């Protein structure tokens, strides 16, 4: 297969390595900043500044979109013009309406479109999900998640914790519960002493109720001066027959018999986002985090932002872009 990687910034370099490690994979790169071509020195990888030129000359089998979020849609639509399957970094767009338009087009034209949501693919998160599905703690009754980091980040555009990191955690909530959000209350805050000069909200507080009545609380911060959590956060999942704690990437199962660390040895390997995307293309099926599915995560992000602006609990209206036919 031939992949066209669009974007060779910091994240793009990471994706280049993934594609290089994917086995029998030809690669071409599109990047408007010509100086970035030096990163390909000695690799023999074709380099383009024009997306359409690269598509027409290289005739790739799929496209990986690792451009800044505000140009995601332009790249996605160009790929769709050539009927190219797309694996896109999150989010689909910072504009919720625009995200819906992109997904709707992919569905209507039957073009495979997946969003690279990697947190749910961590082995310990997959194990937690299996334990919940197996009824290890009975029925889910509540979830509490925390995320703490002191992460001063210089970016070409302002972006809040909600849109940059917490959207991953909202996706994990959907994945672990197997339920969609029903109502939400959120507060974006830029705390005293924050490193962000643009007053972008680096703290986030969320209360969410799922459609099945599970209450979820979430606290996140990119300006925390306490001990740091993993990027995926620390989680306490309560059930009718026990609880599971995910702390520093380790799982503890708590039942009437006591608390015990969960052994991960012997668990089946977990594919990353690229592996899942390629498998979905081979098998002719909808990817796990297809655009249609991931749009529901972006719905939570959208209503969380609206809730913070209104200082009110809001009902979550799920998007309906149509049914994926892949």
Distance from C-alpha of 126 to C-alpha of 192, rounded to nearest angstrom: 37
Question: What's the full length of the chain, in residues?
Answer: 326
Which tokens go with 224?
Answer: 């925390």
Residue-wise DSSP of 233-257? -EEEEEETTEEEEEETTEEEEEETT
**Those residues with Cβ within 8 angstroms of residue 38's Cβ, 6 or more apart along the chain or in another chain:** none
Task: Provide the residue-wise pLDDT of the chain in tens; the chain has 326 residues.
Answer: 999 999 999 899 999 999 999 988 999 999 999 999 999 988 999 999 999 999 999 999 999 999 999 999 999 999 999 999 999 999 999 999 999 999 999 999 999 999 999 999 999 999 999 999 999 999 999 999 999 998 776 655 567 889 999 999 999 999 999 999 999 999 998 877 666 655 567 899 999 999 999 999 999 999 898 899 999 999 999 999 999 999 999 999 999 999 999 999 888 888 999 999 999 999 999 999 999 999 999 999 999 999 999 999 999 999 988 765 44
Residues 9 and 102 in one domain: yes
- The CA-atom distances, in angstroms, between 29 and each of 3, 64, 107, 133, 276 are 8, 10, 26, 41, 21
- Looking at the structure, tell me whether residues 127 and 253 fall in a common domain: yes
Beta carbons of 300 and 314 less than 8 angstroms apart: no
| Torsion over CA: 41, 43, 44, 50 (sign) | negative
The answer on 169 and 103 residing in a single domain is no
Residues 131 and 150 in one domain: yes
Handedness of CA 307, 312, 316, 317 (dihedral sign): negative
Same domain, 21 and 135: no
User: Bridge-partner residues for 189, per DSSP?
Assistant: 203
Q: Is 193 helix (H, G, I), strand (E, B) or coil?
A: coil
**pTM for this predicted structure:** 0.93
Q: How far is CA 67 from CA 77, 214, 322, in A?
A: 13, 36, 26
Residues 220 and 282 in one domain: no
Residue at 165 is within a domain = yes
Are 26 and 13 in a shared domain?
Answer: yes
Which CATH number characterizes residue 176's domain? 3.30.360.10
CATH of the domain at 280: 3.40.50.720
Give the span between the Cα atoms of 247 and 196, in whole angstroms: 28
- Domain co-membership, 125 together with 257: yes
Place of tokens 């209450």: 215
Q: Helix, strand, coil shares of the chain as percentages rounded to 5?
A: 35, 25, 40
Q: Are 13 and 84 found together in one domain?
A: yes
Two structure tokens written together for 145: 């998640």
Q: DSSP alpha helices (H): ranges in 117-272?
A: 123-133, 161, 167-177
In a domain, 145, yes or no: yes
Q: Name the packing angle between helices 167-177 and 123-133 (round to 10°).
A: 30
Domain ranges, residue 61: 2-117+272-289
- Closest by CA position to 101, among listed 237, 243, 301, 292: 292
């Amino acid at each position: 297969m031939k992949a066209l990687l669009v974007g060779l910034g910091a994240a793009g370099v990471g994706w280049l390595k993934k594609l290089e490690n994917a086995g029998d994979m030809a690669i071409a790169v599109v990047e408007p900043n010509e100086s970035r071509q030096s990163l390909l020195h000695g690799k023999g990888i074709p380099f383009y500044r024009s997306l359409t030129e690269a598509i027409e000359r290289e005739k790739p089998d799929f496209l990986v979109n690792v451009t800044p979020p505000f140009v995601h849609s332009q790249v996605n639509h160009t790929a769709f013009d050539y009927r190219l399957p797309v694996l896109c970094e999150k989010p689909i767009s910072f504009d919720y309406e625009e995200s819906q338009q992109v997904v709707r087009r992919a569905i209507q034209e039957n073009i495979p479109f997946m969003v690279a949501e990697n947190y749910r693919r961590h082995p310990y998160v997959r194990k937690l999900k299996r334990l919940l599905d197996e009824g290890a703690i009975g029925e889910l009754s509540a979830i509490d998640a925390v995320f703490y980091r002191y992460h001063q980040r210089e970016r070409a555009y302002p972006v809040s914790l909600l849109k940059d990191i917490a959207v991953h955690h909202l996706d994990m909530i959907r994945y672990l519960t197997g339920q969609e959000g029903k109502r939400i209350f959120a507060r974006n805050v830029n705390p005293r002493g924050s490193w962000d000069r643009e007053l972008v909200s680096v703290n986030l507080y969320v209360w969410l109720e799922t459609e099945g009545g599970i209450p979820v609380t979430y606290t996140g911060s990119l300006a925390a001066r306490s001990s740091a959590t993993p990027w995926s956060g620390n989680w306490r999942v309560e059930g009718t027959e026990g609880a599971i704690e995910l702390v520093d990437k380790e799982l503890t199962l708590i039942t009437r018999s006591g608390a015990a660390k969960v052994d991960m040895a012997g668990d089946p390997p977990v594919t990353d986002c690229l592996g899942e995307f390629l498998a979905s293309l081979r098998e002719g099926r909808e990817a796990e985090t297809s655009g249609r599915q991931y749009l529901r995560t972006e719905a939570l992000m959208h209503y969380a932002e609206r809730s913070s602006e209104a200082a009110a609990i809001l009902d979550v209206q799920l998007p309906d872009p149509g049914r994926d036919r892949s």
